[in-house]
Amino acid sequence: MTISSARLPFFSLFPLALFGCSSQEKAPRAEPGIVEASAPSPAAAADVKPLPNKTRSGPIVYTKIGIVTMDAKPWELEYNYGRLESYVREAARRGAKVVVAPEAVLDGYVCYAAPDVTRERMMEVAQSLPDGPYIVRARRLSRELGIYLVFGFLERAGQEMFNSLAMIDPQGEILAKYSKVHVGGESYITPGRELKPFDTPLGRIGFLICMDRTVPENIRTLGVQGVETVFLPMDGGGGPENTRRMARYARENGCWIIIANTWSAAIISPRGDVRLEKYENEMVSIGRITQWEVPRGLDRSSMIKRRPDLYGPLLKSYEPVRWYDDEGYPTAWAEAQRAKHRQDISTSK
């Protein structure tokens, strides 16, 4: 990957009026053409550089966020992309500079929801980065509208497939890519290999996908690395109870959490306030965030009090049954559960 070196303040990119301002694999794959934001080392915690003791300065700048809520049809990529593009254009017309869509919105979550799923058929609709046909169309759309776009899709990398998302910048370049790390019963999906934030013009951002949120260590891993905003695309699940849980995580980790589900949308502040909460299919919601509310320096009190010398047991599993082995791949038990799920949805067709 080509790594960009500069982290620019977001308000330097656009006039304030635009924001309504009031005051994977075991070794990284080469992905030519992707301009990825710089990221802290995803290796051992000892390799992560200490965060600067930053303080708030400058005017309060708001970033408008558009959240797309839609159900995608399994296998119907052209139909799904057409609807997604329509919603993205609506969000941009309403002033959004960042638009977020659900998990697997392009393919309709075929790795889990489709009763007629096969590995071969999944490989046919999976997109490669950066030049899959629908990835290219999304890049052109972002460039045309001058927005950041986050959306989920089935990714193909060699002979492996991932449940992934991409963030595309206003120049049409892929700024960041993330693959779901907790794939559960998803057929033929390889778990992602990294939990890392990215330094971008939007600030330090991170990603989780749906089930990733159910393991607290995931967002904590991002939180200790100073993530300021976490984007959380989902397909199903969730609801008011999930929003309350994410509010607690946002407060504990001092970050914004943006949820884009197939039937819900939420924006949660670093203080745990739910600023936007909707439960409805087929809609575009608009909210706003500001990095001014992200705790800095000594305000990160729960992080300052941490005792890393005590947390060694967190790096081990003590459970008699495990979804993942020590290298992060599904165990034989997990593969049996995935096969059972495929059988269950096939017989229920």
Residue 76 host element (H or E): none
pLDDT at residue number 344: 82
Over residues 77-90, the mean pLDDT reads: 98
Over residues 219-231, the mean pLDDT reads: 97
| Residues of the domain holding 196 | 61-306+315-347
The residue among 290, 287, 282 whose CA lies nearest residue 259 is 287
The residue among 209, 203, 147 whose CA lies nearest residue 177 is 209
Position 337 in a domain: yes
Helix axes 216-224, 240-253, angle to 10 degrees: 30
Position 3 in a domain: no
| 14-23, 54-63, 78-87, 272-281: least confidently modelled range | 14-23
Residue with the bigger pLDDT between 36 and 281: it is 281
Position 101 in a domain: yes
Sheet holding 98-100, edge to edge: 174-179, 160-168, 148-157, 98-100, 63-69, 283-289
User: What's the pLDDT tens digit per position in 121-151?
Assistant: 999 999 999 999 999 999 999 999 999 999 9
Position 11 in a domain: no
Is the pLDDT at 22 greater than 90? The verdict is no
User: What's the pLDDT tens digit per position in 47-64?
Assistant: 455 666 566 666 788 999
Phi, psi of 162 (to 5 degrees): -130, 150
How far is Cα 319 from Cα 215, in angstroms, rounded to an integer? 15
pLDDT at residue number 208: 98
Give the chain's domain count. 1
Phi, psi of 174 (to 5 degrees): -80, 110
CATH number of the domain residue 76 falls in: 3.60.110.10
How distant is the alpha carbon of residue 131 from its chain centre?
20
pLDDT at residue number 34: 62
pLDDT at residue number 165: 98
The residue among 151, 84, 162, 165 whose CA lies nearest residue 123 is 162
Position 212 in a domain: yes
Position 5 in a domain: no
pLDDT at residue number 342: 84
pLDDT at residue number 61: 87
The whole-chain average pLDDT of the chain stands at: 87
